[in-house]
Structure 1
Amino acid sequence: MNVMQRAKAPIPKFFKVLRNIGLAVATIGGTIVASPVALPLAVITVGGYLAVAGGILSAVSQLTTIKDDLNAVE
């Protein structure tokens, strides 16, 4: 199964929730980093970490498939 087939396969409900949480965390982190207001360096650093962590969480959750449907897609 290649990456495109895996991305199109059904996702378990738990990982759909995690994907949405990851997207929200990445959005919050990106907003903090791109803020036009001068923020302390520590806050900007935490925002960068949030953006990366949210992106990874979303990507991994999107590529998780239901085992029963794994053979059906191939």
Structure 2
Amino acid sequence: MNIALSITVLAAIALLLGAFVLWRRGGHQKQAFLMVILALIAMANVAIWTVPDAEGTAPLDKLEQVDDPPA
């Protein structure tokens, strides 16, 4: 799961950089805007999995606890 989240963050950064380049070239304004929206959605998904709740545990931590069998 850590690899998937890392790839998602890298993809979001690439989308933001690509949107900036596309916007600076002057054309395809709509596509650049949609790339920014997609990057924000990807980052929100990563935040949902990694930001701890009021109890101090993140959903990713709960998922890893389920994967580990009791000793």
Gaps of 5+ in 2: 51-57, 67-71
Could you tell which deviates more after superposition, 33-42 or 47-56? 33-42
Aligned pairs (5 A) from 1:32-51: 32-35=18-21, 36-51=24-39
1:33-62, Cα deviation, whole Å (9 max, x unpaired): 322322312211221122112211222232
* Identity over aligned pairs, percent: 9
User: Are the aligned partners of 1:30 and 1:48 in contact in 2 as well (CA < 8 Å)?
Assistant: yes
CA RMSD of aligned residues (A): 2.0
Which structure has more relative contact order (CA 8 Å, sep 6+)? It is 1
SS in 1 for 2:27: coil
Please tell me the residue identity of whatever aligns with 2:19: V
Pick aligned residue for 2:5 from 16, 19, 36: 19
Could you tell which deviates more after superposition, 26-35 or 54-63? 54-63
Partner of 1:58: 46
CA distance in 1, matches of 2:41, 2:4: 12
How far is 1:31 from its partner? Answer: 0.8
Structure 1 residue runs of 4+, over 4 Å off? none
TM-score (ref. length: structure 2): 0.56
User: What is the count of residue pairs matched by the alignment?
Assistant: 54
Gaps of 5+ in 1: 1-13, 69-74
